[in-house]
Amino acid sequence: MMIRRDDDTWFDDAAGPIARPYTITGGRTHAGDIDLQLLSLVVALPGLAEAATMAPEYARIVRLCQRPLSVAEVAAHLDLPVPIVKVLLADLIERGHVIYRTSQPISDTPEQHVLQAVLDGIRRL
């Protein structure tokens, strides 16, 4: 359904929020020194009573992260771009409201003995 606000502007129900995502972070697009990746797990610290006094985006993240979620999952639940969510999460991490763990890097090539053990195991099947 289209709603006409004035002669020059048209809005519809699917337009989404009026505020652009970068306004949520004050124009910041980088999470600072915190290295959050898509698969980094984040979880809110238990017993956080300050969520009621936080900005709505921060409070929503704290409520959502009562169990560990990846950065990608948080972004999907919030329906916000990943870089914006990384900035918000970095703010919460710096304030001590959320903790995170980055996944271990995958080595480029597996060790020869590991590949041989996998091959031997498959042959035994």
Are 45 and 96 in contact by the 8 Å Cβ rule? The answer is: yes
CATH of the structural domain 17-124, one choice from 1.10.150, 1.10.10, 2.40.50, 3.30.70: 1.10.10
> Are 38 and 72 contacting, i.e. CB atoms less than 8 angstroms apart?
yes
Place of tokens 């020059």: 8
**Predicted TM-score of the model (pTM):** 0.65
At residue 109, does pLDDT exceed 90?
no
The full set of domain ranges for the chain reads 17-124
CA distances from 108 to 47, 105, 111 (A): 41, 9, 10
With a cut of 80, say whether residue 28 has pLDDT above it.
Answer: no
Residue 51 pLDDT greater than 50, yes or no: yes
- The predicted pLDDT at position 1 comes to 47
Q: Is residue 35 scored above 60 in pLDDT? A: yes
